[in-house]
Structure 1
Amino acid sequence: MDDKFRAKKATEGDTHMQSGEKFLETSFWKMKTSPDYDSAAADFEKALTCYKLAKEIDKAIQAALKSAHCYLKTSQEFHSAKMVEQVAVFYRDKNDMKNCTKYIEQCSNHYRNCGEIDSAYQCYDKLAKSIDQSPTATELHKLTAVSMLQKAFEVGKISNRPHEATQCLDYASKILLSLKKYEQSLELVESSWNFYQEIGNTKMLFRVGLHYVLLSLQLGKIPQAREMSQKMINVDEELASELNMLVKAFESGDQKSVTQITMGQNFVYTENEFAKLGTNLKVDEALRVQFEKSGGKPIVSEMATGDYTGNKDLEFDEDDLS
């Protein structure tokens, strides 16, 4: 679009704004005792469209906010939410994460107030993913996206699609993992596990349980990893056995077996960030040296010859599965 076209649209936008303001005026002499909010909202929305085409973002923001206000005055909160959602997007494009967060929260609240729970969490989800996937996204942008995705889950878990809402947490955990914020990522994975367990989604427990073990080992939290590998027996016995072997190899310093296990199909074909985590999982260096000096036999080799007795570790009390 050339400068002439943008100038024309900016002028049209100004005209619509002036028209909208006139609809808000009252006059005793003209027998107009209350503003015409419906007509004003329509004009302000037209101005918004013009300013967007003219790339006058600041003016577009003001037009959207005025339109949102007028829609609220006429009890059209859904349309008000739509306007405020655009404001949040504008601030995203301006790299103003503070105002972006402020207005997407307002937008979500408006959707909830008018009973649109799905839209209330999806507006967070959509905006967060667009922020994260931007080629110019910084760590601040990505952490803002994580915060939005967490809010999306809190709103969406009571929606008609709680499973989709929980995937917001899964996405957030991957962002944190990409930033090497393992502790925070583990917290979100644990929340996902608890929710999927509550609704009985075995398919997702398979994936989330694997992610939980990898993160726990990355953080050196071997007891937590072992406990999860035991819980996984109720989800998938084969994967539970693999995870049990992985934990045993990791705590023994058996790097060869750790690498071989994490190159297995279940690990390689999970989400990219977690597949990379598994591929790069390293045992404690002191344990590795000790294992090699002692002439320890790799656990994977023991499995191949039938000497491995690791499955005994999977014998546990029912209380451990709660």
Structure 2
Amino acid sequence: MSAPDAKKIAEAEALLGQVDSAADEYTKAGMYFKAATAYRNAKSLDKSKDCFLKAIDCYMNNKSWFHAAKSCEQIVLLAKETETLAEVEEYANKACNLYQQHGSPEAAAASMDKAAKMTEPKHPELALEFYKRALAVVLIGDSTHQAAEFASKVSRILVKLKKFEEASKALKKEISLNLQTKSYGQVGRLVVALVLVQLALDDFVDAKKTFKKWGNRCDPQEVKTLETLLQAFDEEDPELAAKMLASPFIRHMDVEYALLSKNIPLPSGVQLEKEGISSAGSLK
């Protein structure tokens, strides 16, 4: 053990030695929290977790919900280091509950956002659940702008996971939220994204309905792109459809939708691939 680690261990043990003489539960919780931090800095993660758990119990006994939530978030960080996914889920949700109990919806949503960002690279399904809960929390608080941000994250992960039915519903919700905040510039891009998802579902009828309903919120480039794309599907013209799906406008959309555009079945049933046009009329 290095000298700095030994010093931190000694610091933690000294704090634990004072716990029994603490004046009240809140003071005791603070000692456990500081000891947990010292153990974590010394890379003694099991002892750190044990102290954070004791801090949570003491904070909850004192009805200090906000500080109990903060301690739960520290366990989430420990679980990330040890790659204990079940504990990330358990204590992130517990932190969210405690922040809500304290009356801090912003902190509750932020705890879900942090947990989602932490898990998204390796576990997008879990991140999706965190983003969904964050969205639900801010909707309770009637924070429409923030809700639109979380709705966007939900939509993108659903597309990434190829859950297109859910993605279609999520994008409609996202459009609705952006209309409420009068974010009309964002709505146009979302209409394009929704049409792409509906085409991925092979639902040309709904794609046309989407354009008819919200096309007036699109800018001229978006209108031209969608009109030509839908025309290509209506006329079963795979070459024109491939050309539009490969257009710079679509390929420069958010990465999830740009990738989706490469895998939409063409009107002829030929699958869109990565680059170039083959003799079969599909991109290669």
Q: Tell me if 1:258 matches 2:246.
A: no
Q: Tell me if 1:66 matches 2:54.
A: yes
Aligned partners of 1:227 and 1:12: how far apart in 2? 66
Cα distance change on mapping 1:245 and 1:100 into 2, 3 Å:
same
- 1:170·1:192 contact (CA, 8 Å) conserved in 2? yes
Q: What is aligned with 1:41?
A: 29
Q: Tell me if 1:183 matches 2:165.
A: yes
Instruction: State the shift of 1:160 in Å.
Output: 6.7
Q: What is aligned with 2:252?
A: 269
Q: Deviation per CA, 1:131-178, whole angstroms, max 9, x where unpaired?
A: 214xxx1xxx21000000000000012347432232223223222323
1:57 aligns with one of 42, 45, 65:
45
Q: Tell me if 1:102 matches 2:84.
A: no
Q: What is aligned with 1:168?
A: 150
Identity %: 24
Q: What is aligned with 1:79?
A: 67
Aligned partners of 1:23 and 1:165: how far apart in 2? 46
Is the partner of 2:89 in helix, strand or coil? helix
Q: Deviation per CA, 1:35-88, whole angstroms, max 9, x where unpaired?
A: 621221121111111111112222222211221222233343222211111112
Is the partner of 1:157 in helix, strand or coil? helix
Q: What is aligned with 1:112?
A: 100
Q: What is aligned with 1:304?
A: none
Aligned partners of 1:78 and 1:107: how far apart in 2? 9
Aligned partners of 2:68 and 2:89: how far apart in 1? 17
Aligned partners of 1:108 and 1:172: how far apart in 2? 18
TM-score by length of 1: 0.75
Q: Deviation per CA, 1:221-262, whole angstroms, max 9, x where unpaired?
A: 111111111122331263234313212312433222123223
| Alignment gaps of 5+ in structure 2 | 272-284
- 1:48·1:63 contact (CA, 8 Å) conserved in 2? yes
Q: Across the two proteins, how many residue pairs are aligned to each other? A: 270
Runs of 4+ more than 6 Å apart: none
Q: What is aligned with 2:191?
A: 209
Aligned partners of 1:60 and 1:19: how far apart in 2? 17
- 1:118·1:160 contact (CA, 8 Å) conserved in 2? no
Rg (Cα) greater in structure: 1
Q: Tell me if 1:8 matches 2:7.
A: yes
Instruction: State the shift of 1:125 in Å.
Output: 0.7
Aligned partners of 1:193 and 1:174: how far apart in 2? 13
- 1:142·1:175 contact (CA, 8 Å) conserved in 2? yes
TM-score by length of 2: 0.84
Q: What is aligned with 1:194?
A: 176
Aligned partners of 2:161 and 2:257: how far apart in 1? 12
Is the partner of 1:283 in helix, strand or coil? coil
Cα distance change on mapping 1:111 and 1:124 into 2, 3 Å:
same
